[in-house]
A and B are shown apart, each in its own frame.
Chain A
Amino acid sequence: MTMQTHIKTFTPARPIWCAGCGDFAVQGVLEKSLHKMGIPPHKLMLLAGIGCSGTIQNNLPCYGYHALHGRVLPAAIGAKLANPDLTVIAAGGDGDGYAIGAGHLVHTFKSNPSIMYVVMNNCNYGLTKGQASPTSPIGYHDNPESGMDSILLGLSFPSATFIARGFSGNPEQLERLMEAALDHTESRKGFAFLEVLSPCVTYYDTHREWRARVYNVDEEEGYDPADRSMAFQRCLKLRDEGRIPIGRIFKGVHPSLESLTLNKAELPPAQQKVGHEGHREQYDKFINSYMG
């Protein structure tokens, strides 16, 4: 990413991830995609949750925000609604997004704001030393519950517009998916959901296993991401076969939250000057509506 070199602002930190962690690939691809898309750093707001993946905002020169555990999506939505001209990216892990933040994920699919959400799924809680997460399979650390599938969850929303899954072991495809996701939000088409299979080499190294299990729908002839029932059927079938679908799984059309929420005749909230008298007429109307 480029940045004005003569102005001294914070120096991005070096990632604190373990050597070999899948999150490196995610960051690398993200930086590359942003560069390629020509998104300037001062227009980018990168919000991250809590967890290993939640440190990503320290590493990029942009407007960064370290959200509370599980709350990255509402914060990102607030930022986008307040200033839709910003590129808003939310990032986090499976614990952050699917456990404590699950309710917000549901409602973000429902409301369809033009933000990108990258979930680095490693099927465990790396930062707190490997406890089971919502995506951990039965048997992991004696986990008695089966893991959840965020793609299938997203597909159930009529308002879902972009659903994809990448794999850090396949950075070329991840780059294509990331660019498509960014393109989706930059053209204000709504919520771009991108889950990345990002192995935790320290507590749960799934790298090899996943390489053997992934199934790339992008390579399947006749797979149509606009066909929701096809997406559902394929994902369910693959799950029964013990395989994990990756690629551009679904693309739908639905009005974005900001297009439904913002008053187009006015500047968006963040761009209004505080203290101007521009809305005096509305204020007077308000007062009048309470007078006898």
Chain B
Amino acid sequence: MSSNNGRPILEDVNVIVAGQGGDGSLTVITMLAELLRTNGLNVYTERDVLSRIRGGHAAATMRAFAGDRYCIGSSINLLVALDEEAVEKNARQLDSRSVVVYDDSGGPVPSVLPQGAIVYSAPFNRIAMRTMRRELYKNSIAFGVVGRLLGLEDETLRETFIKHFQRMGQVILEYNLEALGLGFHLADEKGIHEGEGLYRIKKTAPEKRMLITGNESVAFGFMVAGGRFFCGYPITPSSEILETLQKWLPRCGGVARQTEDELAGINMAIGAALTGTRAMVATSGPGFSLMQEGVGHCGSGEIPLVIVDCQRSGPSTGMPTKPEQSDLNLMVFGGHGDFPRIVLAPGHPDDCFYLTVDATNLADKYQCPVFLAMDQALSQNIATVEPFNLDGVSAVPGKRVEAEDIEKAGVYKRYEFTEDNISAFAAPGTPGGMSLVTGNEHNEWGLVSTDPVNRVKMMNKRMDKIKAAKSELPTARHFGDKDAKIGFIGIGSLFGVILEAMEDLEREGVKTRYLQPRTVWPVLEDVLAFIDKCSRVYVVELNAQAQLAHILVHQGADPGKIINILKYDGIPFRPAELAKRVLGEEGRMIKKGKKEAKLQ
């Protein structure tokens, strides 16, 4: 172990705590994240759980860093393994410099660790059972050891416990403090004394930052955009949006309702939208499939609605707790018939906030369904973000008519043909604004019509709305070397992974640039222009069919320039893994180039 003076300052560290579901891995990580944040570091946490209530392998990962990182790093510095399986499942993320804290109550550490990894074994479980008669306290004992290893002071660890456990009552707090003390004792036995861990903590005055998930950021964005009606049916990984809004929306006079199913969800939100209320639903793949009929109805009836799809692994019920981006086709092409829609894709919790505000405004303005393409990692991982800037966003009302306007005009048509193809909306309750809203083809008055001339005009009116909207849809963000010939495109939680893989590639001498499309549909010019400018573009996706790449090619991108990098094993990309895949492709390109040169 390095000497006191040689210890590095904690600038970027990845920690996994793993065990069985219910072992408290998430609790340990959450407390650590809180603690390191108060020391001025940024944090990012990820969880890996099985879709079951209790038991099964469960891991929580935390990265604490000074500066900007938007994903878990490539290798794990510290693994806290509460059982054998925890080592086996996570060994592939370790390297020769990793440190493993292992609960050897059940037997010695499995021999799957990389050469050079340092192991601290201690029977947390046995100590907890022997001293405290409860297995439950093993994670608190482990926390003591981990805290010491990270270079944190005993007192700050104790304070964290007090803050965390006080809510649960004095007795629970005292037991946990006792367990923490046992952890310190154990650390002493292992020679990890206070202030002699692996790192030195540089105390900085903590900047005020939020620690928030993508789902919570979406909920807040909707609220700030004047969203006042939300419906949801619990489904992983979207449920936190429902839970957050149930807590906060009523305080602003809004309604957040758990419905009997997804069909009720989308239709209840439609009912609210019909009154002029800004409405949103959130779901995941299987629920989104159920909502398709309602989606098309919004398109045909020109009903504004925001629909959040927190994508998880499919098809069908798939892997509910694993990230994927395989509903893009359903968002872009789903539903029967032709109708306009907008699909936005945020890449980080702050992006989730600002794009939800945009989505809510756009739905109201263009009177159509607007989707937010999330993925499980983006939805549920916790990140530090700058406090959302409320002055930087505004809720822009859509085209409305009030009683006086109607009075003056002397006529009101819900689906009036207009210059910009958007018909003004009269909210129910407005005298003179009576109208019919229907999914059936209708004339300007809303009366059902199969007249072919009207049909074509009405269809064009709806489809053309979005053409006009293109100029004000959220544009892509550009990163990296402007002159690089090799490009990246990727959305959602891949944002952070790509940014960091680019650094790895740069170190290998490969210069790249990255375009993060924030509007997926309609495909905007800037995305196509980016592909044009590059020699080749790696389109990175968490799905098996390269759905995003297909959408881009469908809209005019040169398929010869696109190289698909796909992952659909349910495990988030690590930056090094992505960089390696790209290097592999680059190697093949070089070989191919040489071969071609020879053949000439």
Contact = CB atoms under 8 A, between A and B. Distances in A.
Interface string B554-597: 00000000000000000000000000000000000000000000
A11 B413 CA distance: 11
Given A8-B411, A43-B429, A275-B397, A66 B255 contact: no
Given A9-B411, A42-B432, A66-B440, 12 more contacts: A9-B445, A10-B436, A62-B434, A63-B435, A64-B435, A78-B272, A83-B429, A107-B259, A263-B250, A273-B397, A286-B248, A291-B387
A61 B431 CA distance: 12
B21 interface: no
Contacts of A212: none
A58 interface: yes
Given A57-B436, A266-B252, A269-B255, A74 B447 contact: no
A40 B432 CA distance: 11
A79 B434 CA distance: 15
Contact of B251 (A67, A262, A282): A282
A275 B440 contact: no
B122 interface: no
Nearest to A8: B411
A10 B443 CA distance: 10
Interface string B95-112: 000000000000000000
B255 A82 contact: yes
A274 B364 contact: yes
Interface in B265-315: 265, 267-279, 293-294, 297
Contacts of A82: 228-229, 255, 271-272, 275-277, 279
B407 A7 contact: yes
Contact of B211 (A63, A75, A282, A292): A292
A169 interface: no
Given A274-B278, A275-B397, A78 B269 contact: yes
B261 interface: yes
Given A64-B437, A68-B294, A262-B255, A76 B271 contact: yes
A286 B275 contact: no
A107 B429 contact: no
A42 B268 contact: no
B178 interface: no
Query: Interface extent on A, as a size class?
Result: 35 or more
Contacts of B251: 263, 279, 282
A13 B437 CA distance: 14
A270 B272 CA distance: 8
A8 B254 CA distance: 34
B436 to A, nearest CB: 4
B279 A78 contact: yes
Given A83-B277, A283-B390, A290-B212, A66 B437 contact: yes
A126 B594 CA distance: 72
A67 B267 CA distance: 8
Interface string A125-139: 000000000000000
A68 B228 contact: no
Nearest to A264: B253
Nearest to B231: A78
Given A76-B271, A82-B255, A86-B428, A66 B436 contact: yes
Contact of A272 (B253, B274, B431): B253
B448 interface: yes
Interface of B: 34, 37-38, 206, 208-212, 216, 220, 223-224, 226, 228-229, 231, 248, 250-255, 257, 259-261, 263-265, 267-279, 293-294, 297, 364, 387-388, 390, 394-397, 406-407, 410-414, 427-440, 445-448
Nearest to B432: A7
B425 to A, nearest CB: 11
Given A42-B433, A81-B229, A286-B223, A75 B270 contact: yes
Contacts of A86: 275, 428-429
A272 B220 CA distance: 17
A83 B406 CA distance: 21
Contacts of A280: 390
Contacts of B397: 273-275
A6 interface: yes
Contact of A75 (B208, B250, B267, B293): B267
A41 B438 CA distance: 18
A197 interface: no
Given A45-B274, A272-B226, A292-B208, A10 B406 contact: no
A270 B434 contact: no
Interface string A33-50: 000000011110101000
Which residue among A4, A67, A266 has the maximum number of chain B CB atoms within 10 Å of its CB? A67
Given A8-B411, A42-B429, A274-B395, A3 B211 contact: no
A291 B269 CA distance: 31
A118 interface: no
Given A7-B407, A74-B259, A267 B432 contact: no
Contacts of A107: 259-260, 264
Contacts of A85: 429
A77 interface: yes
B272 A42 contact: no
Given A42-B429, A71-B263, A82-B272, A10 B445 contact: yes
Interface in A246-292: 261-263, 265-270, 272-275, 278-280, 282-284, 286-287, 290-292
Contacts of A10: 413-414, 434-436, 445-447
A157 interface: no
A103 B267 contact: no
B261 A103 contact: yes
Contacts of B387: 287, 291
A68 B439 contact: yes
A261 B277 contact: no
Contact of B396 (A4, A11, A42, A275): A275
Nearest to A70: B263
Nearest to A67: B267
Contact of B406 (A7, A68, A266, A272): A7
A40 B208 CA distance: 54
Contacts of A263: 250-251, 253-254
A89 B429 CA distance: 14
A176 interface: no
Contacts of B267: 67-68, 71, 74-75, 78
A261 B261 contact: no
B257 A261 contact: yes
Contacts of B248: 282, 286
A203 interface: no
Contact of B277 (A70, A269, A286): A269
B445 A78 contact: no
